[in-house]
Chain A
Amino acid sequence: MEKIKTLADLKRKQEAVKSQVNLRDRASRAENLVQVKVAMATCGIASGAKEVMEYFVEELDKRNIEAVITQTGCMGYCYAEPTVEVKLHDAEPIVFGYVDTKKANEIIERYIKTGELVDGIIPKNYETIN
């Protein structure tokens, strides 16, 4: 194991190991971050939700956007799978339908980064009890 010889070393080490626990830190302050939920029920997975989820995980990280990406069950919009819900800090969650990696890219670049709405929004058609 490499020795940590100076305080600068220690700080570099911390940067290096932070990614190990990033997921947990973010989970504890999820409400202030971008939250992406990918519907991963049978219908979603069959339409390619796994690739979309992976794309979000990798790309958001690459583009240095702090986000919590989780999977969720069927949202009921099976006709529009894969569906993805995005909640920006201080905004109502918005659901996008027919999300492939190309669409995902658009969502990241335009909606997540600038807040600009993009095509493919599915209007919410139900109330939930909470």
Chain B
Amino acid sequence: MHILLCGGTGCQSSGSSVILDNLQKELLMKGLSDEVQVIRTGCFGFCEKGPIVNVLPDNTFYVEVKPEDAREIIDEHVIKGRQVKRLLYVDPENKQHVPDSKHMGFYKKQLRIALRNCGFIDPENIDESIAHDAYMALGKVLTEMSPTEAIDIIKKSGLRGRGGGGFPTGLKWEITSQSVSDKKYVVCNVDEGDPGAFMDRSILEGDPHSVLEAMAICGYCIGADEGLIYIRAEYPLAIKRLKIAIKQAEEYGLLGENILDTGFNFKIKLRYGAGAFVCGEETALIHSMEGKRGEPANKPPFPSVKGYLDKPTNVNNVETFANIPVIINKGAEWFSAIGTEKSKGTKVFALAGKINNVGLIEVPMGITLREIIYEIGGGIKGGKKFKAVQTGGPSGGCLTEKHLDTPIDYDNLIQAGSMMGSGGMIVMDEDDCMVSVAKFYLDFIVEESCGKCAPCRIGNKRLSEILEKICEGNGTQEDLERLKNLSNVIKDTSLCGLGQTSPNPVLSTMTNFWEEYKEHVHDKKCRSGHCKNLLYYVIDPEACIGCMLCVRNCPVFAITGERKQSHFIHQDKCIKCGACMEKCKFDAIHLTPDYVMA
């Protein structure tokens, strides 16, 4: 019997380490340690209900397990064979307990390629990876194929870069392989920075060998003997597991000199980043690795020609790499049969925001937003109305109700004014103010702009100031026009991808939610009630008994009224301090977005 316990960052922070200890203690006490194995795996993806415990072989899926539940799981399930009902997942629709993961809406529509081993193997034990075909693809490539043949398979598979841009991976490898040099590098980009995205971290935490193997395959294809993983120092668990994985692979001789007796050498080292968003851009990433400031450079020359230490360098994202071994093992045709015409395979998305099943999912390209949000995601939190979903992080845009049935792939998202990005999906409901959402992303960009070029450094700051003004209720028609013009200028004149895409959240919310912008500016109204300055204190004449308490407490004398008659707040004088609402004993004072200035 195996008990799988999620050891991803999310579940660890909600106590999965203590659960692990307790489970093992219980098993030891009951003398079952030899028969029941407890395995700490990577992320199951169902982070909303973590920590997750999965008991095999009967595939019982326990959610929101607490350390004190360990005893009951062992006593009831392991010893007596009775499921602990109260820990099972409850289907939100029919309120029934779901005993195993196969019947959960969350997993039904998913197809896991990059996440194939996450939540299934112990990432700190290379043997478990090997049992699941780790390094078999490397062996196959090294013994049966020439680099060109291997690149051909990747090209034919149609795999495109999963970091956001969607550049064909095989083509990138081919270009790097054709660059002539005595030394080349393979770089894995783990500078995952989109707010709410955590797929790269989860892959490395759950299945580090898949990435190491793919880097070695890439090394063989392009003629490199050294790989570097650029990872954020703020991912301590991923770093720890990568270090263990590299060490174990080296001990087995699967990394290092003369791998599998083929004369191929490949070693992998880690490089730590300080967590700057711009360092996800490959030229900035390379600068950072060289010890320079993380600023982007003009392309061309592309890193494939002149990269790390001026040597040809192939930079790919974690998820891209995680797909490679499967493609080699199962063939290009198998992979290209999945997905849409121009976007093959699957994509991992991190679902976040106002959605019931927050977590990590992997779905075939071409799935619709509706399927993701309502079937896998379980719908909007609290039964509220769906408003938009932000994809592609700060460089992306918003998709709205009218995009719900658009098949998701690289090209359709761009057409809809957004982009794939690294795969963060932040769901918003009717309580979210789209102007404020645009401002949130812009503030992120202002923080993260490296400052090298003026349009991005100064332009975004100005954009943010205009949005601030609009949210405070001081916006004018000219501001709206300036917002649009300035956005386009920044888009056209910035140096790197970060700047060129930085106004996207503004432009896309302006296109899709123009009404809301107009309301903020002309009616001084925020329909979601999010912008505090556009909310009004009003007295409900029915509930007000005329006690004069608010009149006496208003610091700016904005409230008038006679004793025993309902009072009135003069909006032109009100400074929105909230003192009246606090003092009122009869709940007669409310905040409302709907008040129209007299």
Complex contact B143–A17 (CB within 8 A) = no
Residues of B within 8 A of A4 (CB): 252-254, 260
1/0 per position for B236-266, CB-CB distance to A under 8 A?
0000000000000001111000001100000
Q: Does A24 contact B (CB under 8 A)?
A: yes
Complex contact B81–A72 (CB within 8 A) = yes
Complex contact A1–B81 (CB within 8 A) = no
Contacts A4-B252, A7-B260, A21-B131 hold; do A73 and B81 have CB atoms under 8 A apart?
yes
Contacts A23-B1, A23-B57 hold; do A17 and B127 have CB atoms under 8 A apart?
yes
Complex contact B260–A5 (CB within 8 A) = yes
Per a CB cutoff under 8 Å, which of B80, B131, B254 touches A18? B131
Number of A-B contacts (CB under 8 A): 86
Complex contact B261–A6 (CB within 8 A) = yes
Interface centre among A11, A21, A42 (most CB of B within 10 A): A21
Per a CB cutoff under 8 Å, which of A3, A26, A69 touches B252? A3
Tell me the complex Cα distance, A70–B2, Å. Answer: 11
Q: Does B130 contact A (CB under 8 A)?
A: yes
Closest CB-CB distance, A3 to chain B, in whole Å? 4
Complex contact A20–B131 (CB within 8 A) = yes
Per a CB cutoff under 8 Å, which of A14, A26, A71, A73 touches B131? A14
Complex contact A30–B130 (CB within 8 A) = no
Q: Does A104 contact B (CB under 8 A)?
A: no
Q: Does B532 contact A (CB under 8 A)?
A: no
Tell me the complex Cα distance, A96–B6, Å. Answer: 37
Residues of A within 8 A of B139 (CB): 7, 10-11
Q: Does A117 contact B (CB under 8 A)?
A: no
Q: Does A68 contact B (CB under 8 A)?
A: yes
Residues of A within 8 A of B4 (CB): 24
Question: How extensive is the interface on chain B, given as a class?
Answer: 20 to 34
1/0 per position for B69-103, CB-CB distance to A under 8 A?
00000000001111000000000000000000000
Complex contact A70–B57 (CB within 8 A) = yes
Tell me the complex Cα distance, A73–B85, Å. Answer: 13
Complex contact A14–B260 (CB within 8 A) = no
Tell me the complex Cα distance, A23–B4, Å. Answer: 12
Residues of A within 8 A of B260 (CB): 4-7, 9-10
Complex contact B121–A21 (CB within 8 A) = yes
Residues of B within 8 A of A70 (CB): 57-58, 81
Contacts A4-B252, A10-B130 hold; do A27 and B57 have CB atoms under 8 A apart?
yes
Closest CB-CB distance, B428 to chain A, in whole Å? 35
Complex contact B252–A30 (CB within 8 A) = no
User: Which residues, 1 to 17 on B, are CB-close (under 8 Å) to A?
Assistant: 1-2, 4
Residues of A within 8 A of B254 (CB): 4, 10
Closest CB-CB distance, B123 to chain A, in whole Å? 13
Complex contact A5–B136 (CB within 8 A) = no
Tell me the complex Cα distance, A23–B59, Å. Answer: 11
Complex contact A3–B253 (CB within 8 A) = yes
Q: Does A80 contact B (CB under 8 A)?
A: no
Q: Does B447 contact A (CB under 8 A)?
A: no
Contacts A4-B253, A5-B261, A7-B260 hold; do A24 and B133 have CB atoms under 8 A apart?
no
Q: Does B56 contact A (CB under 8 A)?
A: yes
User: Which residues, 114 to 164 on B, are CB-close (under 8 Å) to A?
Assistant: 120-121, 127-128, 130-133, 135-136, 139-140, 142-143
Interface centre among B80, B132, B251 (most CB of A within 10 A): B80
Residues of A within 8 A of B140 (CB): 7
Contacts A7-B143, A10-B135, A40-B80 hold; do A17 and B128 have CB atoms under 8 A apart?
yes
Tell me the complex Cα distance, A13–B249, Å. Answer: 13
Residues of B within 8 A of A72 (CB): 81
Residues of A within 8 A of B252 (CB): 1-4, 13
Tell me the complex Cα distance, A10–B142, Å. Answer: 13
Question: Closest chain A residue to B79 by CB distance?
Answer: A40
Residues of B within 8 A of A7 (CB): 139-140, 142-143, 260
Complex contact B1–A21 (CB within 8 A) = no
Residues of A within 8 A of B136 (CB): 10-11, 14
Q: Does A78 contact B (CB under 8 A)?
A: no
Residues of B within 8 A of A14 (CB): 130-131, 133, 136
Complex contact A5–B253 (CB within 8 A) = yes
Closest CB-CB distance, B460 to chain A, in whole Å? 48
Residues of A within 8 A of B56 (CB): 23-24, 27
Complex contact A27–B1 (CB within 8 A) = no
A-B contact pairs, 18 of them (CB 8 A): A3-B252, A6-B260, A7-B142, A7-B143, A10-B136, A10-B260, A14-B130, A17-B130, A21-B132, A24-B2, A24-B57, A27-B56, A28-B59, A28-B120, A40-B80, A41-B82, A68-B58, A72-B81
- Beyond A10-B254, A14-B130, A21-B132, 14 additional pairs, beta carbon < 8 A: A3-B253, A6-B260, A7-B140, A11-B136, A11-B139, A17-B127, A18-B131, A20-B127, A23-B1, A27-B56, A30-B57, A39-B81, A41-B81, A71-B81
